[in-house]
Every structure is written in structure tokens, then in C-alpha cells.
């Protein structure tokens, strides 16, 4: 069901927004309560499914550091982390460097810098996703 607002702009009703498949969001958090890690220094990413009604922790993905920091120094570290979360639609982190940002953009992962409470960061990521057009999440199936 669609509602119309000013200037003939069409907006989804709340029931349609909740029908959208959930986003898969990675969060860099050491405490599991706060978004408290820089993307390139995160030792673990918490992976959530997020929709308008709730968020649900799916798994924790530890970053396995390669001896010597990986090939390419910081670039190798960024690439390793991007690959680890490439199946996610977004990542919430305190900060991200320009190289990692380019890699995330190339993989279609929205980067949201939000150094506050984890649950509010997930809500903010969902808002940012929708503000940027709300394309179909990566984990959506053809039947969704």
C-alpha cells in the first residue's frame, strides 16, 4: 500500500518498509555494546540482520591477522577486512581510511561512521541505507 505526500512524492507505508528483506550489517566492536573500533584495527566484526522492527546478531567474525600485517601493509589489512565482510550491505565503524573506503565502495558496502552505542548505530545504518535509495539487500532472494 502506497501513501502519497506533498508534491506527488510517493512514500512507502510502514507495512511495506517492514516487508523489505533485512540488511546484513557488520559492526566493528570490541565491547559488543559500542561501535568502538577503527575499521583497519578491528579484531572482530559482529554481523547483524537489521530491519525496521529489530536487529539480530548472526555471528562474530574474527579478523585473522596475517604475519607481517599482510601484503601491502595497511592496504593488505584493509583488503583483508573488506573481503571478510563483503557479503554485508553496510559496515558501522568509528572511522575508516580512504583506501578501505574505496574498497568498500567497489564491493557495494555502505560505510557508516558512527562511534556510539551499537544498537543506535544499526538503526542509523538502516536510515542511511534508505536515504541512499534503499537498493535491494545482497542477501535478498528472488522470492522476497
Query: Could you tell me the domains of the chain?
Result: 20-131 (3.30.420.130)
Among the listed residues 29, 105, 45, 41, the one whose alpha carbon sits nearest the alpha carbon of residue 74:
41
Residue with cell 522476497: 144
Cβ neighbours of 78 (radius 10 Å): 23
In this predicted structure, what is the pLDDT of residue 68?
53
Question: Quick one: cell of 89?
Answer: 550491505
> Is a pLDDT exceeding 50 seen at residue 137?
yes
> Is a pLDDT exceeding 50 seen at residue 72?
no
Mean pLDDT on 18-44: 91
pTM, to two decimals: 0.78
Cα–Cα distance, 22 to 109 (Å, whole number): 15
CB 133 within 8 A of CB 36: no
More confident residue, 36 or 143: 36
Amino acid at each position: 500500500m502506497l501513501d502519497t505526500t506533498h508534491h506527488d512524492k510517493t512514500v512507502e507505508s510502514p507495512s511495506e518498509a517492514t516487508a523489505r528483506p533485512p540488511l546484513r550489517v557488520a559492526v566493528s566492536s570490541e565491547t559488543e555494546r559500542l561501535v568502538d573500533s577503527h575499521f583497519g584495527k578491528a579484531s572482530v566484526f559482529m554481523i547483524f540482520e537489521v530491519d525496521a522492527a529489530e536487529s539480530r546478531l548472526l555471528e562474530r567474525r574474527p579478523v585473522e591477522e596475517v604475519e607481517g600485517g599482510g601484503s601491502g601493509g595497511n592496504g593488505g589489512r584493509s583488503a583483508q577486512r573488506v573481503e571478510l565482510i563483503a557479503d554485508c550491505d553496510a559496515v558501522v565503524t568509528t572511522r575508516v581510511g580512504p583506501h578501505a573506503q574505496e574498497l568498500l565502495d567497489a564491493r557495494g558496502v555502505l560505510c557508516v561512521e558512527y562511534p556510539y552505542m551499537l544498537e543506535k548505530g544499526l538503526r542509523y545504518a538502516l536510515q542511511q541505507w534508505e536515504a541512499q535509495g534503499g537498493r535491494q539487500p545482497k542477501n535478498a532472494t528472488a522470492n522476497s
